[in-house]
Amino acid sequence: MGHGHGKGPGQWCHGKFRGCGYRMTTGREAVLDVLSQANEHLSAEDIYMKIHPVYPAIGLTSIYRTLDILVNIGLIHKFDFGHGRARYELTEGPKGKRHHHHLVCTGCGRVIDYTDFIDEEVALLKKTEEGLSKKYNFRIDNHLIQFYGLCDACNRS
């Protein structure tokens, strides 16, 4: 799994985790570890397969449970790109990447993060959110923006 040399994000999240009344366990630390190392959008099984060689005792069930908690705590986001399984990614923050949106290729399933063009989008979203909040008395805490189409590789064929 390649800790490299440091402690992984375990230490960092330890507090946040415990602060919410959860215990810190090997499995939970491993999941966080994998997620913070990853640069793709991982499924529960992806995470399981990365953890398993190192900690064979940790089961898929626990990974699902940990992911649920992390989503609720707000440390990760859960996405459905339409491939039949949920995918997870660290939220923006100290250890997370910056807030971004997604390009989803309907040909090969590739998902591209983009962080350009975001500033304007977010500015407009703020305005839109304000309008919607007022009109519908709807408290918005999150948004999802995805573009669907064909990626470079799929365009060529």
Partner DNA sequence: AAAGATAATGGAAACCATTTTCATTTAGGA
Partner DNA sequence: TCCTAAATGAAAATGGTTTCCATTATCTTT
Question: Does residue number 113 form part of the binding site for Mn ion (CB under 5 A)?
Answer: yes
Query: Closest Cα to residue 66, out of 92, 84, 39, 48?
Result: 48
Distance CA(62)–CA(68), nearest Å, equals 10
Total residues in contact with Zn ion, by rule CB under 5 A? 6
Question: Does residue number 121 form part of the binding site for Mn ion (CB under 5 A)?
Answer: no
Distance CA(67)–CA(44), nearest Å, equals 8
- Strand pairing partners for 42? 88
Secondary structure class of 102 (helix, strand, coil): strand
Report, in Å, the least distance between residue 143 CB and a copy of itself. Answer: 5
Are 44 and 64 within 8 A, CB to CB? yes
Q: Applying CB under 8 A, which of residues 85, 92, 114, 115 lies at the interface with a copy of itself?
A: 114
Q: Which of positions 30-69 make contact with a copy of itself (CB under 8 A)?
A: none
Question: Does residue number 54 form part of the binding site for DNA (CB under 7 A)?
Answer: no
Question: Does residue number 27 form part of the binding site for DNA (CB under 7 A)?
Answer: yes
The one segment of 32-40, 60-68, 94-102, 131-139 that binds DNA by CB under 7 A: 60-68
